Amino acid sequence: MTPSLFKRLAAPALLCAGLLCGTGGHAATHELAIDQLASRGLLGAAGNTVLSLQIGAGARVTGLRWDLELEAFAPSWLSELRLAVSGSDVGAGGLLFAPGEGRDAAGALRAAGELDLLQAGLDFRVGADGLLRLEFHEAAGDGLQPDGLWRSGHLRFDSVAAPVPEPSSLALLAAGGLLIAALGRRRLRHTPTSNE
């Protein structure tokens, strides 16, 4: 390959290589306001509050921040109030969150904090439907209705979108490949021969 041909092909080749990498995922924060959400039974019980947030197909959940006011009614304990966070397929992994962990008593609690799920090795992806499923439940069935309330506050989930090549990027990739092929073919046709 001559230096001039290399120079002409370098830019299209770099463009194609960049497009093969796809577009990187972007970070987002999804907030849920808490207002009198009931925990009624064990995980999967019919009376539990279940909510969904749309965070994008295949998004990776990377962080959780909370500022909450909780109340557990005797004989239920604050440590029994739980939140199961997953994609819509609950069997595909997720997170069990217990903001009252260690508080083995009934009563009220204000809890705030954050958790870097990547650093803790607890990050997970949602499915193709992009739904983040939240189920407010109890760790122990005490027979109360409800066992506890998530009175107020906020939950914030950090996520990173799944990297997906855009259709226009794929078209540019194809065009770049055709350009490289055409330039290579043209170069072969115009190669002078020598007669000795």
pLDDT digits (tens, 9 = 90+) for 91-120: 888 999 999 999 999 999 999 999 999 999
Length of the chain: 196
Full residue range of the structural domain in which residue 171 is found: 3-22+165-188
Contact (CB, 8 A) for 37 and 152: no
- The span from the CA of 154 to the CA of 170, in Å, is 40
DSSP 140: S
Domain presence at residue 183: yes
Domain presence at residue 196: no
Domain presence at residue 16: yes
Same domain, 76 and 173: no
Contact (CB, 8 A) for 136 and 44: no
Same domain, 169 and 134: no
Domain presence at residue 103: yes
Same domain, 73 and 108: yes
Same domain, 17 and 91: no
Same domain, 63 and 34: yes
Give residue 19's pLDDT: 47
Cβ count within 10 A of residue 101: 14
Same domain, 125 and 177: no
The CATH number of residue 69's host domain is 2.60.120
Give residue 11's pLDDT: 55
- The span from the CA of 47 to the CA of 102, in Å, is 25
Give residue 92's pLDDT: 83
Same domain, 133 and 170: no
Same domain, 142 and 74: yes
Give residue 144's pLDDT: 73
Same domain, 101 and 148: yes
Same domain, 86 and 8: no
- Domains held by the chain: number: 2
Domain presence at residue 195: no
Same domain, 102 and 148: yes
Domain presence at residue 193: no
Extract the residue ranges of the chain whose pLDDT is less than 70.
Answer: 1-25, 164-175, 177-179, 181-196
Same domain, 182 and 97: no
Question: Is pTM beyond 0.85 here?
Answer: no
